[in-house]
Amino acid sequence: MRSWLRSDLEKVIKAEAREGLRIVIRERRIPEEKKKIVEEASRLLKDYRTVVFIDLEGVPAPALVKLRKAFEGKGVLKLIKSTLLRKAIDIAKIPGAEELKKYVEGSHIALFTNLNAFEVKLLLDKIEIPVRPRPGMVLDKDVVIPPMRTDLKPGPIMSLFGRFRIPTQVREGVIWIARETTVAKAGDTITPELISLLDKLGITPTSIKPRIKFAYDSGIVIRGEDLAIDLNEIRKQLMEAAGAALNVASEIVLPEPTVIELSIRKAFARASALATESGFVTKDTAEIVIKGVVSKAIALAAALVQRKPELSDFIQVSVAPAPAGVAPAQQPSEEKEEREEEEKKEETVSEEQLAEGLAALFG
């Protein structure tokens, strides 16, 4: 009781006592059961870094058993009233308590865990809770009735099977479904007749996934919609970031075994390219330089023949056999047609290309 209120009441009591009246003040006490709930919740808030609040709306009671089983050994699930939980937050004195209390309202399940909130979201997305369909619901998948023994006796129910065109047989005094039948397709609206049929067959075609309202993780409150992540996109971004980081590290030659190996490979490739362009011949670069010169010579010869077809009598260009999987060379007629098309386009070889090729051939 507030001190100023108690002071005013004491004055009233003294005044009434002088007139022979007796006033008894009774303070409202919190039941012991609620005290225990608050104490346990405050302890859990201190022991676990994350609290995930799962929406209770539309979740059947048996679903709690499935949730508890899914998080067995990973966390503790509790059904706690919002008023009691807010008291527990005040007692626990956790970081970000005032922000958390703004979100704590309505009915929900509190999951206390040391997993981060995003891990919990990924685990919950894998859980599907069967729920009885309601009239007016829209199906997100086809409803298929498998061949089965129904334990239903023949009678008026046969007309219900007939309306959904389900082939049946009567054997051993009960109805058997003869073959698999699709009774509704994705996008259809569920009707009371369909619900009646599914109830009699014990089939639950609809399910829901637990929905996170919000989560508290190490002093930060995260809304449920902000916990949705695209793993493939994140994996792609991480791979790109790792590649970019490795490229930068190899350029500055970071002293790490993997990086140094890549840096050496890059340096060798660049040195080989430079040796080929400059014609610098050593024991190590001779093969690369000669291959480069031969390649340029062949390119030059092909360009000369293309520009002046009459030179084909003096210059013969030999092409190595194409590896497996590569398209075979064009036939002469095809080459002629292509040549004519190229001539029409008036493609020419630049003077720089010719000079470079001649220099490679004759030094």
The answer for residues whose C-beta is within 8 angstroms of residue 60's C-beta and 6 or more apart is 129, 131, 132
- pLDDT band for 126, please (50, 70, 90 cuts): confident
Task: Return the pLDDT at 3.
Answer: 60
Asked whether residue 22 is assigned to any structural domain, the reply reads no
Asked whether residue 160 is assigned to any structural domain, the reply reads yes
| Torsion of the alpha carbons at 236, 239, 242 and 243, rounded to the nearest 10 | -110
Task: Return the pLDDT at 283.
Answer: 78
Sign of CA dihedral 54, 59, 60, 65: negative
For residue 53, give both structure tokens: 């609040």
- The CA distance from 201 to 329, in Å, is 68
Mean local confidence (pLDDT), 132-143: 86
Judgement on whether residues 107 and 214 belong to the same structural domain of the protein: yes
Regarding beta strands 108-113 and 50-55, do their DSSP bridges make them parallel or antiparallel, or are they unpaired?
antiparallel
Mean local confidence (pLDDT), 86-109: 89
User: What is the CA 53 to chain-centroid distance, rounded?
Assistant: 20
Judgement on whether residues 165 and 260 belong to the same structural domain of the protein: no
Angle between helix 286-307 and 351-362 (nearest 10): 130
| Torsion of the alpha carbons at 86, 87, 91 and 94, rounded to the nearest 10 | 0
- The CA distance from 244 to 331, in Å, is 45
Asked whether residue 91 is assigned to any structural domain, the reply reads yes
Judgement on whether residues 344 and 315 belong to the same structural domain of the protein: yes
Judgement on whether residues 51 and 200 belong to the same structural domain of the protein: no
- pLDDT band for 15, please (50, 70, 90 cuts): low
Judgement on whether residues 77 and 103 belong to the same structural domain of the protein: yes
Judgement on whether residues 223 and 267 belong to the same structural domain of the protein: no
Does position 357 have pLDDT exceeding 90, yes or no?
no
Q: Domain containing 184: what range?
A: 131-208
- The CA distance from 310 to 252, in Å, is 53
Judgement on whether residues 99 and 237 belong to the same structural domain of the protein: no
Give the count of domains, the chain: 4
Mean local confidence (pLDDT), 21-31: 57
DSSP of 10-23: HHHHHHHHHTT---
Residue pointed to by tokens 């010169």: 293
Asked whether residue 337 is assigned to any structural domain, the reply reads yes
Asked whether residue 303 is assigned to any structural domain, the reply reads yes
Judgement on whether residues 118 and 148 belong to the same structural domain of the protein: no
In the chain, which residue ranges form alpha helices assigned H by DSSP? 3-18, 32-47, 62-70, 82-92, 97-103, 117-125, 157-163, 192-201, 231-251, 257-278, 286-307, 332-345, 351-362
Q: Structure pTM?
A: 0.54
Task: Return the pLDDT at 359.
Answer: 44
Does position 133 have pLDDT exceeding 80, yes or no?
yes
Mean pLDDT is lowest, of 30-39, 264-273, 279-288, 295-304, for 279-288
Mean local confidence (pLDDT), 29-53: 88
- Express each pLDDT in 237-263 by its tens digit: 888 888 888 888 888 888 888 888 888
Asked whether residue 100 is assigned to any structural domain, the reply reads yes
Of 184, 192, 190, 179, the residue nearest 164 (C-alpha): 184
- The CA distance from 289 to 323, in Å, is 23
Mean local confidence (pLDDT), 119-139: 86
Asked whether residue 11 is assigned to any structural domain, the reply reads no
Decide: residue 19, CB within 10 A, 0-12 exposed, 13-18 middle, 19+ buried. exposed
Judgement on whether residues 81 and 136 belong to the same structural domain of the protein: no
Task: Return the pLDDT at 63.
Answer: 76
Task: Return the pLDDT at 343.
Answer: 45
- pLDDT band for 220, please (50, 70, 90 cuts): very high
What's the whole-number average pLDDT of the chain?
79
- Domain end call among 229, 263, 295: 229
CATH number for 144:
3.90.105.20
Judgement on whether residues 104 and 225 belong to the same structural domain of the protein: yes
Does position 17 have pLDDT exceeding 70, yes or no?
no
Asked whether residue 18 is assigned to any structural domain, the reply reads no
Of 75, 50, 78, the residue nearest 64 (C-alpha): 78
CATH number for 68:
3.30.70.1730
Of the two residues 102 and 27, the one the predictor is more confident about is 102
Judgement on whether residues 39 and 115 belong to the same structural domain of the protein: yes
Does position 360 have pLDDT exceeding 50, yes or no?
no
Does position 326 have pLDDT exceeding 70, yes or no?
no
- The CA distance from 128 to 141, in Å, is 14
Judgement on whether residues 117 and 138 belong to the same structural domain of the protein: no
Task: Return the pLDDT at 2.
Answer: 57
